[in-house]
């Protein structure tokens, strides 16, 4: 029904796409990533939200200049065919590696917490099949999946009540208790939690009401920020500084504090539901990679999707040496920052180019 229509995303779709693509598995480790700041970390999600919102401005601006094109096409238009396409090649690589790191991070966690005596290959196959199924329906199906995921997962926040009840509100003072060095380390590690909203550059052409996109995307960002804020705040109240530094998945232990007469170990329940957050993030990146391959090969084909899914499956299931893997994923994280700033440069290039044309 939507196959022949290009504009398919309404306002709700945009809000939840932005929100859920952002919150992947980073949320689980966020208080730990911010731990160099000690207790002062609790207001950092707010700061990150402001920065992310500022970074959104050039993205929407450049997208509004090229309403019919996604970032791959914009690259070709602005930088020429060769430069644009090689850059797009890097983008595809980036999307594939991000996807692999997200999937692998989650499956590792599943193996540690829920299935310590099984291999991950079974869950991985099921996960990839689901992923391909979701992406098969194109961006609208991903957006719809985001909406349902949100409502299936969001109630877990209620379980933070126990941790907050046991925690100590006095931990929030003093406010600025960190050095410049600690500030930079924590921001470098933690800002990765905000990545994901930049995907809007790829699905922007599909948005029905593009003028309102900035407002809607900002709303999505701030929903994410409030989720992060509540979680980090609860962690700061509940943990000691040593625990923040040493507990790898602080959010799981937060949920471990829950005591209900009919339900034990809410953390295992939560980690199973977490698959929705991972699926949405992974689906968006898979879709981006597929679109990238489409644009490089100049034709839209379903097989591109399967090829990329197979590559990701390969990357995740081949046991690379852990150090090598860590190095690659770290590079991917940092290239993410580059990607978030990149649209500002595109704006400058666009301005220079249009000026030249006017002079001519």
Binding region for other proteins (CB under 8 A):
38, 112-113, 116-118, 168, 170, 173-174, 176-177, 238-243, 252-253, 256-257, 259, 264-265
Phi and psi, residue 3, nearest 5°: -60, -40
User: CB of 96: closest distance to other proteins in angstroms?
Assistant: 28
318: left (phi over 0), alpha (psi -120 to 50) or beta: beta
Is 173:180 a contact under the CB 8 Å cutoff? no
User: CB of 112: closest distance to other proteins in angstroms?
Assistant: 5
CB-nearer residue toward other proteins: 253 or 337 = 253
User: CB of 350: closest distance to other proteins in angstroms?
Assistant: 46
CB-nearer residue toward other proteins: 118 or 212 = 118
User: CB of 283: closest distance to other proteins in angstroms?
Assistant: 23
User: CB of 268: closest distance to other proteins in angstroms?
Assistant: 9
CB-nearer residue toward other proteins: 159 or 222 = 159
User: CB of 118: closest distance to other proteins in angstroms?
Assistant: 6
Closest C-alpha among 24, 11, 16, 18 to residue 151: 16
Cα-based torsion angle of the residue sequence 87, 279, 344, 214 in order, rounded to the nearest 10 degrees: 140
User: CB of 32: closest distance to other proteins in angstroms?
Assistant: 14
CA atoms within 13 A on the CB side of 201: 27
CB-nearer residue toward other proteins: 20 or 252 = 252
Give SS3 for 331: helix
Residue holding tokens 């290039």?
Answer: 349
Is 120:107 a contact under the CB 8 Å cutoff? yes
User: CB of 347: closest distance to other proteins in angstroms?
Assistant: 40
SS (H, E, C) 85-144: HHHHHHHHHHHHHHHHHHHHHHHHHHHHHCCCCCCCHHHHHHHHHHHHHHHHCHHHHHHH
Tokens of residue 204, six digits: 């922007």
End-to-end CA distance of the chain: 45
CB-nearer residue toward other proteins: 240 or 354 = 240
Provide the angle, in degrees to the nearest 10, between the axes of the packed helices 213-238 and 44-65: 160
CB-nearer residue toward other proteins: 173 or 359 = 173
CB-nearer residue toward other proteins: 117 or 357 = 117
Q: How many other C-beta atoms can be found within 10 angstroms of the C-beta atom of residue 166?
A: 13
Residue holding tokens 């590079």?
Answer: 331
DSSP assigned state of 24: S
How far is it, in rounded angstroms, from Cα 238 to Cα 211?
42
User: CB of 119: closest distance to other proteins in angstroms?
Assistant: 10
């Amino acid at each position: 029904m939507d196959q022949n229509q290009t504009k398919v995303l309404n306002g709700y779709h945009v809000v939840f796409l932005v929100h859920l693509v952002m919150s992947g598995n980073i949320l689980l480790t966020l208080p730990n990533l911010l731990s160099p700041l000690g207790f002062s970390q609790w207001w950092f999600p707010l700061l990150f939200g402001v920065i992310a919102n500022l970074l959104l401005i050039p993205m929407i601006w450049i997208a509004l200049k090229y309403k019919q094109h996604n970032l791959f096409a914009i690259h070709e238009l602005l930088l020429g065919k060769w430069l644009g396409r090689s850059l797009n090649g890097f983008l595809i690589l980036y999307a594939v590696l991000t996807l692999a790191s997200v999937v692998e991070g989650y499956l590792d966690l599943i193996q540690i917490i829920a299935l310590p005596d099984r291999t991950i290959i079974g869950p991985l196959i099921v996960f990839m099949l689901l992923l391909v199924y979701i992406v098969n329906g194109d961006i609208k199906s991903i957006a719809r999946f985001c909406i349902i995921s949100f409502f299936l997962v969001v109630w877990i926040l209620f379980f933070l009540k126990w941790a907050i009840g046991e925690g100590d509100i006095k931990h929030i003072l003093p406010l600025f208790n960190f050095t410049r060095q600690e500030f930079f380390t924590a921001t470098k590690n933690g800002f990765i939690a905000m990545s994901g909203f930049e995907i809007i550059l790829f699905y922007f052409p599909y948005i029905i009401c593009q003028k309102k996109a900035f407002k809607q995307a900002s709303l999505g960002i701030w929903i994410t920020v409030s989720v992060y804020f509540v979680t980090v705040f609860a962690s700061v109240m509940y943990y000691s500084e040593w625990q923040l530094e040493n507990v790898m998945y602080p959010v799981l232990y937060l949920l471990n504090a829950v005591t209900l007469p009919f339900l034990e170990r809410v953390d295992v329940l939560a980690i199973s539901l977490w698959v929705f957050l991972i699926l949405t993030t992974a689906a968006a990146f898979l879709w981006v990679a597929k679109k990238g391959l489409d644009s490089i090969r100049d034709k839209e084909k379903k097989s591109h999707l399967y090829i990329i899914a197979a590559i990701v499956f390969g990357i995740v299931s081949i046991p690379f040496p852990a150090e090598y893997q860590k190095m690659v994923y770290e590079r991917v994280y940092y290239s993410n920052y580059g990607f978030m700033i990149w649209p500002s440069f595109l704006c400058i290039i666009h301005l220079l180019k249009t000026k030249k044309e006017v002079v001519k």
